[in-house]
Amino acid sequence: MSDEHSSPEAIAAIKKKYWIVFGVLMGGTVLTVLMYKVYFEQMWITVSVALVIATFKAGCVGAIFMHLWDEKKTVYKILTCTVFFLIGLMWLTIWAMHDHPKFTTLVQ
C-alpha cells in the first residue's frame, strides 16, 4: 500500500516546486540588492518598488511553503469569515462612536 505523497514521482514534483521557489527567492533577493543602486526622485516610488518585490517574495513563500496554493477552498472560507467579522466590528465601532456612558464627563 503506497501513499500517494511518498511515491517517487510525487517527491520529485515537490522537489522541483521547491527549487523553483528557491530560484524565485534568490532572483528577488538579487533584484532587491540591485534596486538599492537605483535612485528614484520620489520616496513613494522607492517604497512602492520595495513593497512590490517583498510582496511577490512573500506570496511565493506563503503559496508553496505554507501550502496555501493547495488549500484554496479553506483559505477562502477563512477569509470570508474574517471579512464578515471585520465588517461587524467596524459597524459596532461606528454605531457606538457617540454613545457615551451616562454620568461621565468628556475630556476635550
For residue 57, what are the contacts with CB-CB under 8 A and spacing of at least 6? 24, 25, 28, 29
**Bigger pLDDT: 98 or 24?**
24
Say how many domains are in the chain. Answer: 1
Whether residue 2 lies inside any domain: the answer is no
Q: Above 80 in pLDDT, residue 107? A: no
Q: Above 50 in pLDDT, residue 1? A: no
Distance CA 49, CA 54 (A): 9
Whether residue 103 lies inside any domain: the answer is no
42: left (phi over 0), alpha (psi -120 to 50) or beta: beta
pTM of the model: 0.58
Range of the domain at 17: 8-95
Q: Which three cell numbers stand for residue 57?
A: 517574495
Whether residue 59 lies inside any domain: the answer is yes
Whether residue 24 lies inside any domain: the answer is yes
Q: What is the mean pLDDT of residues 55-73?
A: 85
Q: Residues 77, 80, 86, 92: is their CA dihedral positive or negative?
A: negative
pLDDT digits (tens, 9 = 90+) for 5-63: 788 888 898 889 889 889 999 999 999 999 888 888 998 998 899 999 999 999 888 88
